[in-house]
Chain A
Amino acid sequence: MSALDTLGQRLERLAGEVELARPRFDVEPLPLVAPPTVEAAVELVKLAAADKLRVIPLGLGSKLGWCGTPGHADFVLSTRRLERVVSHVPDDGTITVEAGLSMARLAAKCRSGGHFLTPDVPAPARRTIGGVVAAGESGLDRLRYGPVRHHVLGTRTLLADGSLARSGGQLVKNVTGFDLHRLYCGSHGTLGVIVEVSLRLHPEPEREAWLTVEASSLADALQLTCAWPGARTIDGLAAREEAERASVRQRFDGSPHPKLHVACLPSKLENAAKIVLEALANARIEHGVALQPGIAEMLVELRSNVGDAQALSRLAGVLRNALARDNVSLAMRDAPRGALVELDPFGAPPAGLELMRTIQRNLDPDGVFSTGRFAGGL
């Protein structure tokens, strides 16, 4: 290797090809590499560690808009070519796959053994299992099956020093060692790159049914679903506005508009929704709403009249203050350029932030994966 090699050339040698990609639509394009093997991924991270480079890991990048604008980064590492099924034991109800396998192909594999894949995410061909786990993404089936972190039996994670560390295993029950995989779930790649995931599978249901109730207004729908005693045991019961069933399932996936993600305890949702929707009405912001009362989650797409980035940032700030009393969280997804300068998309700094920083520093002293995109600038 010549000292004069550019980063692009060195990356190319390790990963085969390099393209340019934007890790978010509001930052300059960066070299993106998709190593064909875990071993190649290891070499790439070792290169980053040796040269003190910063890396943004991703799968297919569908949830980068959930995160903040990264600080300095040198290249993007995609797991999308790591697609091997490592082991599939239908009779034990478990599967282990490389992280870059798309949710669509993973679901097909699970179906071949009579199981189905949770979470039932929108656009599964555009998502990898590693990305879903790393972002802690849920689907409409969360009410019945719980969050994805409950189904992860173990992971193999590529850490900043280039080591591959396992946590958990492939068994449905196991308490051997610290559950570091729980730490990686939902950490958006800011502690390492998940390269392998083991999952517990669930039998495919014999039958599924959708029940749609037309309501004359969103307020009525909200009241109906929040008052319905069964609303917490019926899968995916969702109130919606001007949206077809398909788009409820899509949950505005792929839309470029900014979105508010509201989450709280079920009893607080009705009031939280009122606060948010009133504020949007007052500001004359056109919006679409997808609500899951059973898991107390609301997604609001802001379609027009949002104003400039500062106005949006202010709106989020005002709403967060109004919602804080009920411990309601409000995250901003796909915020436009500039809106995140003063706004953490995830909300107020989390309790235990100092400890989180220490954990991050201990696993990644040089900050290879610490690009400040996650909650509290992690």
Chain B
Amino acid sequence: MRAGVLEELRAALGPAGVIADPTRLLAYECDGLALLRQKPAVVLLPRNTEECARAMRILHREKIPVVGRGAGTGLSGGATPVDGGALVGFARMRDVLEVNVADRYARVQAGVVNVDLTLAVEKHGLFYAPDPSSQAACTIGGNVGENSGGPHCFKHGATTRHILGLVIVRDDGSVLDLALPRPDPDGFDLVGLFVGSEGMFGLATEVTVRLVPTPPVTETFLAIFTDLDAACDAVSDSIAAHLEPSALEILDRLTIEAVEDSVFAAGYPREAEAVLLVEAEGTEVEVEATLAPMKAIALRRGAIDVRRARSAAERKKLWAGRKGAFGAMGRIAPDLYVADVVVPRTKLRELVAQSTRIARERRLKLANVFHAGDGNLHPNISYDRRDKDEVRRVLEASDEIMKVVVAAGGSLTGEHGVGLEKQEFMSLVFEERDLHAMCRVREAWDPAHLLNPGKLIPVHACREMRGTERPK
């Protein structure tokens, strides 16, 4: 970084808005994909759109690459810094700017934590539907960048269906104000295009989100299986039977054990090989019309018991266990690799079994906890990053899982994004011409390739420099 630039940034953001001290920078060298690390040259923490724009103008002039970061909970390396680049964090942009109850939307700064948004609006009988497992930490801005999902996206759809408007700071520091919500976009759907662009089109500083009325009745039950295949089949059956609960989640034995040994203990039965967590919401009639046939399917597929949560507290506990599952895995090994593939819902059993086999062949501990209703698998591999050979086997297994999933008509990622992690696998899913079109659109937003360079698009497709190498 040229002499004087740091001072200029400090003048733009105030002394607390610029972190350049090497020890403090350590905290930012990776996101949830801890395998990849890179210390940024500087971390910038703007307080509002104007400060962010000011900083971006300086960085653009200096041709310094920029990586945006919400809470750093992402699992694909989307917020891994670039060597010599700046990291723009949104930790100081946590204001809810407007709640419009009549028109059911809220306008928030990008750094607002996902769960805080629902807390801010629940008194109006509204909630924000996308609920990633990391919702107690992850930010709305990060959710926009990754088009995040969560258990209830089965009914409500992923983040993109809930974003009505954005304020975007462009590569050169200009501000694109698309915050005002309307039923349909004016001109091209820039907001829809931006969601899930993994920080490569700009930095979203303000987000207008759709709010959903809290359903009058919510019911949750747990179906207990002695066989993971049977739990998968129960889900495939319920999709084929056109049932539409609001969430359909599966946890396997290893996950159950980890959860039950942890502070998230939810009362999942330890004797089960798998549990299926089902939630339905709506009117009492709607909920019954969904849960009764769901229960019948589970029993027909061999569930040994179906337990309905008897109170809101019990329901909360069941969900705390599910959402704490990734954290609880820390009990098994120091590190966790979370895959995120999606499969057609007719092939759940087959592909869950294949991933298990792939891990077993490589002597790895694989636990399954996943959004079964959406076909979004999370084969989780526990490992120790100090063990080089184990790291190698983890990556090999992850590669193999992606290959078999894509061959079966699936995709690389359902909610975590491509980032650095799956970049080289894009060519399994897309042809050169598909990637070329993506590159052309990216050029329109960021012709100098300063925004999160080296992510998502495989190197050969755009002939651009990679920011960070995949570990050998």
Chain A interface (Cβ within 8 Å of chain B)?
A: 89-94, 114-115, 136, 138, 146-147, 149-150, 157, 159, 163-167, 169-180, 182-183, 185-187, 191, 203-204, 233, 263-267, 295-297, 327, 329, 346-348, 350-353, 355-356, 358-363, 374-376, 378
The 24 listed contacts between A and B (C-beta, < 8 Å) are A89-B346, A163-B437, A165-B433, A170-B344, A173-B149, A174-B414, A176-B411, A176-B412, A177-B426, A177-B435, A186-B184, A203-B243, A265-B181, A265-B182, A348-B186, A351-B177, A352-B188, A356-B188, A358-B444, A362-B440, A362-B441, A363-B437, A376-B187, A378-B188
The residue that B441 contacts in the complex, of A173, A266, A327, A359, with Cβ under 8 A, is: A359
**A-side contacts of B374, CB under 8 Å:** 172-173
Smallest CB-CB separation from B414: which chain A residue? A173
Q: Is the CB of B444 within 8 A of A362?
A: yes
Residues of A within 8 A of B146 (CB): 175
Q: How far is the CB of B369 from chain A (nearest CB, A)?
A: 16
Residues of chain A lying within 8 A (CB to CB) of residue B158:
173, 175
Within 8 A of A (CB), among B184-215: 184-190, 192-193, 195-197, 213
Q: Which residues of B contact A (CB under 8 A)?
A: 100, 102-103, 146-147, 149, 153, 157-158, 160-161, 170, 176-178, 180-190, 192-193, 195-197, 213, 236, 239-240, 242-244, 342-346, 371, 374-376, 409-418, 422, 426, 429-431, 433-438, 440-445, 456
Residues from chain B with a CB closer than 8 A to the CB of A296 are: 183
B185 CB contacts on chain A under 8 angstroms: 186, 350
Cross-chain contact B193 with A180 (CB below 8 angstroms): yes
B240 touches A327 (CB 8 A): no
A178 touches B196 (CB 8 A): yes
Closest 5 CB pairs of A and B: A203-B242, A182-B192, A350-B187, A350-B186, A165-B437
The residue that B411 contacts in the complex, of A136, A169, A359, with Cβ under 8 A, is A169
Residue of A nearest to B347 (CB): A92
Of all chain B residues, which has the CB nearest A191?
B188
> What CA separation (Å) do A180 and B443 show in the bound complex?
13
Q: Given contacts A177-B418, A351-B186, is CB(A92)–CB(B345) below 8 Å?
A: yes
Chain B nearest CB, measured from A72 CB (Å): 21
Which of these, B429, B433, B435, contacts A169 with CB under 8 Å?
B429
* Distance A94 CA – B344 CA, assembled complex (angstroms): 9
Q: Which residues of B are found within 8 Å of A166, using beta-carbon distances? A: 430-431, 434
Interchain nearest-CB distance for B337 vs A (Å): 18
Minimum distance in angstroms from B448 CB to a CB of chain A: 13
Q: Is the CB of B197 within 8 A of A178?
A: yes
Shortest Cβ distance from A292 into B: residue: B183
Knowing A91-B346, A147-B183, A350-B187 are in contact, say whether A362-B443 is a contact too (CB < 8 A): yes
Q: For B240, list chain A residues within 8 Å (CB).
A: 90-91
Chain A residues in 8 Å Cβ range of B436: 163, 165
Question: Looking at the complex, which one of B190, B371, B411, B435 makes contact with A356 (CB distance below 8 Å)?
Answer: B190
The tally of CB-CB contacts under 8 A between chains A and B is 209
Residues of B close to A183: CB separation below 8 A: 188-189, 192-193, 441
Docked Cα-Cα span, A146 to B155, in Å, equals 13
Query: For residue B149, which residues in chain A have a CB less than 8 angstroms away from its CB?
Result: 173, 175
| Interchain CB contact (< 8 A) of B183 among A169, A171, A175, A295 | A295
Tell me which residues across on chain A come within 8 A of B189, comparing CB atoms.
149, 182-183, 185-187
Q: A174-B342, A352-B178 are in contact. Are A179 and B440 (CB under 8 A)?
A: no
Min Cβ gap A159→B in Å is 6
Known contacts A172-B374, A173-B371, A177-B429, A346 near B438 by CB under 8 Å: no
B411 engages A264 (CB within 8 Å): no
In the complex the two chains form, what is the Cα distance from A173 to B158 in whole Å?
8
Scoring B100, B187, B409, B438 by chain A CB atoms within 10 A of each residue's CB, the highest score goes to B187
Given contacts A150-B157, A170-B409, A171-B342, contact A179 B192 (CB under 8 A): yes
A180 to B188, CA, bound (A): 11
Find chain B residues with CB under 8 A from A360 CB.
188
Query: What residues on B are CB-neighbors of A363 within 8 Å?
Result: 437, 440-441
Pick from A157, A159, A182, A363 the residue with the most CB of B within 10 Å: A182
Min Cβ gap A89→B in Å is: 6
B345–A172 CB distance below 8 A: yes
Contact present for A173 and B440 (CB under 8 Å): no
Closest Cβ of chain A to B186, distance in Å, is 4
Residue pair B186, A375 in contact (C-beta under 8 Å): yes
Q: Is the CB of A149 within 8 A of B192?
A: yes
Chain B residues lying within 8 Å of A114, measured Cβ to Cβ, are 242
A136: chain B residues within 8 A (beta carbon): 184
CB distance from B212 to the nearest CB of A (A): 11
From residue A221, how far is it (CB to closest CB) to chain B in Å?
20
Q: Kindly report which residue of chain B lies nearest to residue A185, judged by CB atoms.
A: B189
Taking the nearest CB of chain A, how far is it from the CB of B454, in angstroms? Answer: 15
Inside 8 A of B176's CB, which chain A residues have their CB? 351-352, 355
Contact of A173 among B170, B184, B243, B342 (CB under 8 A): B342
> Closest CB-CB distance, B352 to chain A, in whole Å?
16
Instruction: Tell me, rounded to whole Å, the shortest Cβ–Cβ distance linking B67 to chain A.
Output: 17
User: CB < 8 Å: which of A94, A361, A375 contacts B187?
Assistant: A375
Chain A residues whose CB sits within 8 angstroms of the CB of B438 once the complex forms: 167, 177-178, 180
Bound Cα distance from A203 to B155, whole angstroms: 13
Q: Give the docked Cα–Cα distance between A157 and B445 (Å).
A: 21
- Taking CB atoms, residues of chain A closer than 8 Å to B440 are 362-363
State the CA gap A266–B157 with chains docked (Å). Answer: 22
Q: Is the CB of A178 within 8 A of B193?
A: yes
Chain A residues contacting B414 (CB-CB under 8 Å) are: 171, 173-175
> B159 — nearest CB in chain A belongs to which residue?
A175
Known: A163-B436, A175-B414, A177-B435. 8 other contacts (CB 8 A): A149-B192, A164-B433, A185-B189, A203-B243, A266-B103, A351-B177, A356-B190, A359-B441
Query: Which B residues touch A177, using CB under 8 A?
Result: 418, 426, 429-430, 434-435, 438, 456
Q: Which residues of A contact B412 (CB under 8 A)?
A: 176
Instruction: Give Cα distance in the complex from A378 to B100, angstroms.
Output: 33
Q: How far is the CA of A174 from the CA of B159 in the complex (A)?
A: 12
- Indicate if the CB atoms of B161 and A146 lie closer than 8 Å: yes
Closest residue on chain B to residue A358 by CB atoms: B444
- Are B182 and A176 in contact, CB atoms less than 8 angstroms apart? no
Contact A267 B102 (CB under 8 A): yes
From residue B82, how far is it (CB to closest CB) to chain A in Å? 19
B345 touches A91 (CB 8 A): yes
Chain A residues closer than 8 Å to B376, beta-carbon distance: 173
Which chain B residue lies CB-closest to A297? B183
Q: Verify B426–A359 contact, CB threshold 8 A.
A: no
A348 to B440, alpha carbons, bound, how many Å?
27
Q: Which of B186, B213, B346 is A347 in contact with, Cβ under 8 Å?
A: B186
